[in-house]
Structures are given as structure tokens and as C-alpha cells.
Amino acid sequence: MSEGSGERRWQRLIRFPFRGRAGIAADVDEEFRFHLDRRAEELRARGLEPLAARDGALGRFGDLNDARRYCVALDARVERGARRRTWFGDIAYDLKHALRQLRRAPGVSLVVIVTLALGIGATTAIFSAVRHLLIDPIPVPGGDRIYAVSRVSGDGSMFITPRGEAVAAWRRGATSFEHLGTFTTTERTLSASDAPENLIAGEISADVMPLLGVRPLLGRAFTNDDARNGAAAVTILGHGFWKRRFGGDPRIVGQTISLDGRPFTVIGVMPRNFSVPFLFGETARIWLPLSADPSVVGARAIAKLRPGVTRESAERELSEIMRSDPVSARSAGEWKPIVRRPQDYLGTGTRDTLLVLLGAVGLVLLIACANVANVLLARAVARRREFVIRAALGAGSGRVVRQVLAESALLSVAGGVLGLLIAWGGLGLIVRIRPQQLAALDEVRMNPEIVAFALAISLVTGILFGLAPAIFATGRRLQDPLRSSSRSSTAGAGAGRARRALVVAEMSLSVVLLVAAGLLVRTLVAMQQAPLGFDPSGLTRAWIILPAERYTNVQQRTEAFGEILRRVRGIPGVEAATWSMGVPPDLGITIGTLELEGRPAATEGNVTLQFNAVTPEYFGILKNPIRAGRPLSDRDSAAREVMVSESMARRQWPGESAVGQRLRLSSNGPWNTVVGVVADVTLPSTGGAPFAGGQVYYTRFNAGFEEATLVVRQTTGAPGLATALVRVAEAVDPMIRVREVNAVGSLVQARFAKERFNGILLTAFAVTALVLAGVGLYGVVAYSVSQRVREMGIRLALGARPRAVMRLVLLGEARLTILGVVLGLLAATAVTGLLRGMLYAVEPTDPLTFVSVGVALLAIALVAAWVPARRAMHVDPVVALRGE
Amino acid sequence: MNDRLDLPQGTLDLLILKTLSLQPMHGWAISERLHQVSRATLQVPQGSLYPALHRLERRGWIAASWGASDNNRRAKYYELTRAGRKQLAAEAAAWAKLTAAVDLVLDMQ
């Protein structure tokens, strides 16, 4: 009893601070020594000699070393567990405390979280998209071995599809490939009494699906037999089409649908989003077997290399086979086979666009980080007193730093989660507004590595700028903020400078983005407003194909075309209609030597001209004004009449009238007389010089071909014209095919899709940047006002007018803004040259854009500073001077 | 010395817990107290006492802290935790049951 009583002064030393292995051993030894000493004392008290007493004590204890080892090992384990528990316990405490701190300043927390989220979201979405388009292999098993096979011209400037004979020879002899597939697109008409419909059909050889590692969702894949001549016509439905037209009914497999008036047996349904990645420009609704026959022309080829086979060795083998194959060798000419990554089909223009977007989104991330740094810096400076007090109360500097770390981590994680949501939505938006060239974007997924990267960036920013002031605060000048009662102590001067620098940087980066966005928007507007030379609104075109086997002579074709036109003109809402060979923006191109009568033979070599074969009504229907002469005479006229575009007339017959002149496009062909000059049809385009060759119009031949383009102008935008046209054609002959029914206006707009895509994205980034910069500026000004409340109070008390105080604040802020804007505009002049290829009718240094951006930014800055400046004006001198 | 008993396996823990249930003690005191209370019948091998104490501490049944002893030396004191108190009750009950059962068998006619 006596031993334990009375000792109530427990010293909790065992848990904290933690002991090392040596400390543990020392403790065990001390405990044991105490015991042994007591025993020895006891023995001595019984009369033993000191040495004998010690030996006795040791002897009674038993195996000392064994017990000691056991206890030390056990305690070390206990210690580790305790250390872990304490660490987690502290983390939990830190997080709880951090959450409380963040909730106490909801405005600041929200700004940081939203800023991070915007930065992470935009970056993740764009980087994911770009990585998917430019870097990642096709997302199928073995996708890194999938390549496109095509031909390249001798000078390397043009790529075309391989010839059927070559593909057949490669299929027979090449050992480089696991699979070699071919595919193409066609358009088909689904004949259905209630709602006939034009469909994009993907025609694929039997190798394509195994090459992509895809099996049909329902039914079976194509076999080589399906594409043989005389085989039963079969089709596999696309997933979306199956859902839309057949309600996703699995019993459709085995049934028949009618395409172009012919029955096709449905043998399967494709999985969702099936496509040939990167190579398929359009979304196919249905899939048909493509014959492996060498006579197939215009099909693209896709190959999966055997593992270990390089692109170059495959190319060598293909060339070798072509040289040894008599048919291929003859037709090869200067064209060489080339094996390329599917991504290469995007073209350099698209790549440049993507890289510009990448740069822009990088700037947004930079601005976001600057903003976070800015806000956290302000907060940390404002909390210096808190840190110092906590340090003074015994919190180790490590503890304070951990606290700040917890807050930063919490903010970063919240921002990251919100950012991922934004990225997810943004990616969906990007897919929705993507231009045709980027069809491969439909398969884009958020890239986990990029998500991790963006999160890491935000975490580092948060930690760096949250931590630095905390370390500073708990460091050398511990007691300063406590000693000086005034809050306007100079302690935060360094941080203040850093914050102003950050705001200036944000401003200038925003200016760069805004200028870029402004140039792209101006491009888009200029393209929309560019005179086309005709009026596309209300125009629809359709491509009509008579089955060649039934319409063998001109008489039959003339009658059929005439009957169709008569009925089309009877469709309600149709104002006028006629036939032509093509319609802008899809005009034919002819390359030849242009000869002018009475001039020496052409010196400029081959010229490229757009040409069209039209009827006399064509120009009226297109509202394509005739500038001189008269329209082509009636189609039955035997006279060889042509019309030329204005720019061509001016170039070829400068200073004289083109009307009455004669020209021919081959050196021994018949002469054609120019009867009229018509306004240029131009389509604005970015990147490269616009097409300058001019246009030549011939009289439409007397139904010389079985295909023709129907041009229809409607009085009203009556819907259902496509269906009506298919019905008309069916009524004349169910075998007549109607293809590519499109509003001409939408075809023209589709030409601007890339520019619209760029414009929308860059504008989104620029606006984000502007908002972030505005928030940053507001933060700086609001903070400096709150720091200078006493000064304002003194000024007001000494008789300064409130307006003067406000001006003082605004002037201080204006210096930052003007500096930011000037730096930004300078940077922009250096950078916008990169955009040259994306601009139309706008110079990279367009003064209007630069000036408007500068003015806009100054205005935004004024608004951002106005609110805190007003607060300064309304400072109550009494309250301000009474102090804290 | 012949009248001293060796402890049956596993009973040392029970005895330590019981001893500490009265008040916090250091190892020496525990050892002395067991000796006294058992009227010198129970011989606690000290080579096992300390390992047992550290083991019980690890299980969370007893807690250790350093304190000053009656002769003003630093000594490591052990006290029963709440979990230890529960454990003691359970082990004491089990022991009572066991000895009662053993008695019954031995009393068999």
C-alpha cells in the first residue's frame, strides 16, 4: 500500500514527445534498475553486503536480458501505433479546424474554390480533348498498332486513298499486318411510307470490325461472303439509329429494311458509338459490307500492324509488293504508299488550332493559380496575428504550418472536385460544338493523368501561397504584430508587393486572352458578313441519281428530270427550282490550260477553276447577280456559251469587256463564247489564300448524266422539304435515289464550324480569365482599403472630402490596371502572330480589337475597384480613429 | 521455499489486474504486494512480471506513466484502464467458475 499512495503527480511523459528506440530501451532499463535497487536495498537491510545484495537481487529477477529484450520490442510496437494514432488524430483535428476557418470566411473560400475549379475544369477538358486527338492511340485493344494506309504524292503534299488493286495485292502478300480493312461512306435512302429518310451509311470490309476489336451488340459481324457479288443484301444497324427508328427492339435482327428501294436483311446492331476513329468524318447510321474487290475505288484503308512491326518496315513492304505486282506497278505513278497515325488525318491546321487552345487554357490555369495565390496571400497576411498568437501560446511552428496546409488542402480538394464537374460538363460542350473535322472527339474521355496533374498544380499553388506567409509569420519577427497595435503595420508590405505583382500579371494575361478571343470573334463575324455572291437563305439542294440501268438514253433521262422538276415546283412553299451540276459551297474544280482567243498560248501553265453547268434560271434562283451581258441562253441552244465570274473577267481581259470574248480549257477543244459576267461566288476561309481561280459556267448539257443537283428556293422556311423530295422521287420511280438534301445556308455555316469552335472556346477562356482578374483586383483593392481605414479616417477628420478619398483609392488601383493592360497589349502583339492561320479579314494586330480590349479591361477594373473605394469614402472617422 | 507455488499459466495477468484495481503501482510494489497478500505463497518470477506488465499495457488494460516514488526516484507506475477493469471482472468470473468446477470434481465421492 505504502508504495503507491501519495504519488498523485502524474507526469504524462510517456506519450509525448515520442521516444526513439534508444529512449525506449533507457526507459525499460530504468524501470528494471528501480526494481533491482529496491530488492538490493531490502537484502542489505537484512544484513547482506552490498555486492552480495546486488547479486541476490539479480538472481531473484531471473533472466534479465530476456525480459529486457521482450519489453523493448513490445514497447517499440506500442510506440509506433501511438504515433500513428496521434498523427491521424492531429490530421482530423487540423481538418476540422480548417473547415471552421474556411466557413468563417465563406467569401474568400468560395472565390478560391471557384477559381481553382474553373482553372482545373477548363484545363482538364481541353488537355483531355487535345491528348485524345493528338497523342493517345485509338482507344481499342492494340490501338497503338492501328494505322491508316494511303498514298502520298512524290512531293509529299497530297494524300489520297490507295487504289483497289494495290489493296488487293497487299492483302494477298503483306505480312506486316494483322488486319487490313477498307471503308468508305455512302448515302442511302431508307424507304418507309411514313417517313423516308436519308442516311449516311458506313461501308466496311469484313476486316474492320475484328481490327478494331469490336463485336456487334446483337447478331453477327460482316463476313467476306456478305460483300460478294450476288450475295444477299445485309446491313448492321447503328446503335443510335436502332434506338430511334426501331425503339431498340432486338427482334429487328433477321427482319428486312428497304434501302434505295431494295430489301436489306438486318443481321445485327452495332455497339454504341461504333465508328472508325479519326477516319470517319461523319456519324454513320447504318453499316453495309464493303467488297474487297479491287474495283472498289475511293475506299480508305486502315491496318493493324503485327506486334513489333514498325511503320517504316510496313511501308517498305507495301512499296515492294506494289513494284512486284504488275497491275499496281503500272498505276502507281509517282505515288508512294504511306502508313500514318490516324491522328495525322486531322491536318496541320487543326493541330495548330488545338495547340492555340492548349496555350489559351494554360493561361487560364496560370491566372487561376495567380488568383488563388493572391487571395490566400491576403488572407494569410490578415491572419498573421492569429498565427503569432498561436505560436506564442506554444504551438510549434510545424503545428501552425500544418494548420495552414490543412486549409489549403481542403480548398484544393473542394476546387478539384468542382473542377472535375466543370471539366465533365465542358467536355460534353466541346463535343457538342465540335466541327466536322474533329468527329473523333465523340469518343473523348476525361484523362485520369491530366486530372491528377491539374489537381497537383492546384494543390501546389494552394500550399505554396498559403504556406509562405505562415512560415514567415511564425519565423523571425514573432512579436512584431503583437507589439504594434496598428493594423497598418509594415509587416505585410512584402506580401502586398507580391499581391500587386500578381494582379498585374493576371491583368496582362487576361489581356492576351481577350485579344486572341477578340480576333477570333472578329474573324467569325467577318466570315458571316462576307459577301458570298449569292443568297443561301431559303435555298435547298438535293442530289438526284437515276438508276443507270433503267435510264440509258438522253430521252429517258430528260423526261425523268423534267417530271421530277415539274412535281418539285408543285410542292407547297417552293418558289422556284432548277437543275445544275453543283451548287456552292460544293462546286466542281477543273484543272487545265486556259486559252483565250487572240492571245498567245497560256504562259501560266495549268490553272485551277471552279466550274458549274447550269440552266438560265440558276442565277436568278441563287440571286447571284449578273454584272454584264446576259444569262446563258436556253439549254437547247447549240451555241457553246459560257459565263465567267467578275474577278476572272477582270484578270483575263483587263480594261476591256469580257462579253463576246472566246476561251477554251484545252488546247484543241472548241471555243466557247463569253455571254455574261456574273458576281464572284466566294466562301470565306481561314488559313491559306482564298481560292482565286474564278468560276466558269457552262450551259447544262442535255441530261448527259444520270445524276444532277436539284436547287430549290422556298418562299417560307417550310419544314419537311427533304421528305417531300424523297416522296416526289419515289412517285416518279421508286428506284430514283435522293441524296444529300441540305439547306445551302447550313452547308455554308458548316464551313465556319472550325472558326466558331475556336471563337466560342477562346471567348469562354477569355471571359473566365477576365472574371478571375476582376476578382483578383477587387481583392487587392478591398484589402488595401481595409488596411488603410485609419489613414482614411485621419484624412476625413482633417477635412478631406469623401470624393477625394475615393479618388485616391481609385488612382492607386488605376496604376496597377494600366500597367497590366500595357504589358498585356505588348505581350499580345508578340503572341497573336501565332493566330494568323486562324484569322480571316483581320490582322493579328487589329487596332480595333486591341483598343476595345484595353478599354474593356479598364472598365472592368474600375467596377472591381469601385465597391471598395466607395467603402473608403464612407469611412466614419470616429470609428476609424478609435482604433481596434 | 518448498511451500511456494508456481503460478498456473495465465493467472499472472489476473493477479496483476487485481492488484492494480486497488491503486496505481510500480512493478516493484506489485511484486511485493503479491508476495505479501498471498502470505508468501505465490512466487512471482520477476523475469515474467515485467514482460506481463508491458503486454497488458499494449493491450490497453493498464496504462503506464512515470512518477516519483516514495524515496523520490523516478519510477514507472501502472494503473488500470477502463478496459482493464472490464477485463479483470471477466477474468475473475472465469476463474471463479473454473475453481468451483475443479472443486466439484475434487469433492467427488
Q: Please give the Cα distance from A20 to A118 (Å, whole number).
A: 47
pLDDT score, position A236: 94
Dig out the grid coordinates for B77 from the structure: 507506475
pLDDT score, position A397: 62
Least-confidence region, from A85-99, A313-327, A515-529, A789-803? A85-99
The answer to whether A166 and A329 are in contact (CB under 8 A) is no
Residue-averaged pLDDT of chain A: 80
Nearest to A736 by CA among A546, A498, A507: A546
What residues pair up with A265 in beta bridges, in sequence order? A234, A256
Residue A699 pLDDT class (50, 70, 90 cuts): confident
Residues of B with CB under 8 A from a CB of A: 23-29, 31-33, 45-48, 50-51, 54-55, 57-58, 64-70, 73-77
- Tell if the CB–CB gap between B58 and A67 is shorter than 8 Å: no
Question: Residue A782: pLDDT above 80?
Answer: no
| Range ranked top by mean pLDDT from A97-101, A276-280, A612-616, A871-875 | A612-616
pLDDT score, position B88: 92
- Tell if the CB–CB gap between B47 and A74 is shorter than 8 Å: no
Is pLDDT larger for residue A520 or for residue A386? A520
Residue A10 pLDDT class (50, 70, 90 cuts): very low
Residues of chain A positioned with their CB less than 8 A from the CB of B19:
none
Question: Residue A64: pLDDT above 80?
Answer: yes
Question: Residue B46: pLDDT above 80?
Answer: no
Query: A149-192 pLDDT, tens per residue?
Result: 888 877 666 677 888 888 888 888 888 899 999 988 888 888 77
Q: Where are the beta strands (DSSP E) in A2-155?
A: 146-152
pLDDT score, position A84: 77
The answer to whether B19 and B31 are in contact (CB under 8 A) is no
Dig out the grid coordinates for A610 from the structure: 471552279
Residues of chain B positioned with their CB less than 8 A from the CB of A78:
54, 57-58
Query: A342-378 pLDDT, tens per residue?
Result: 777 666 667 777 888 888 888 888 888 888 887 777 7
pLDDT score, position A637: 53
Residue A278 pLDDT class (50, 70, 90 cuts): low
- Tell if the CB–CB gap between B77 and A7 is shorter than 8 Å: yes
Is pLDDT larger for residue A297 or for residue A546? A546
Residue A493 pLDDT class (50, 70, 90 cuts): low
Instruction: Name the pTM for this structure.
Output: 0.66
The answer to whether A79 and A18 are in contact (CB under 8 A) is yes
Query: A192-247 pLDDT, tens per residue?
Result: 766 778 788 889 999 899 998 889 999 999 998 888 878 889 999 998 899 988 99
In one-letter notation, the amino acid at residue A835 is L
What residues pair up with A757 in beta bridges, in sequence order? none
Residues of chain B positioned with their CB less than 8 A from the CB of A11:
65-67
Percentage of chain A beyond pLDDT 70 is 86
> Residues near A871 by Cβ (< 8 Å), separated by ≥ 6?
A782, A785
CB nearest to B50's CB, from A38, A39, A67:
A67
Could you tell me where the DSSP H helices lie in A590-660? 618-622, 646-652
Size of interface A-B (CB pairs under 8 A): 96
Least-confidence region, from A346-350, A399-403, A452-456? A346-350
Query: A577-609 pLDDT, tens per residue?
Result: 998 888 888 777 776 777 888 777 655 566 778
pLDDT score, position A222: 92
CB count in 10 Å sphere of residue A728: 22
- Tell if the CB–CB gap between B25 and A39 is shorter than 8 Å: no
Q: What are the angstrom distances between the C-alpha of A298 and each of A185, A202, A318, A374? A: 10, 13, 18, 58
Percentage of chain A beyond pLDDT 90 is 11
Whether A45 contacts chain B with CB within 8 A = no
CB nearest to A9's CB, from B47, B68, B70:
B68
pLDDT score, position A490: 45
Residues of chain A positioned with their CB less than 8 A from the CB of B80:
none
- Tell if the CB–CB gap between A34 and B73 is shorter than 8 Å: yes
Least-confidence region, from A213-227, A460-474, A662-676, A764-778? A460-474
Question: Residue B2: pLDDT above 80?
Answer: no
Where does residue A841 fall: left (phi above 0), alpha (psi -120 to 50 degrees), or beta otherwise? left
Could you tell me where the DSSP H helices lie in A134-259? 164-173, 208-212, 239-246
- The bridge status of strand B62-68 relative to strand B74-80 is antiparallel
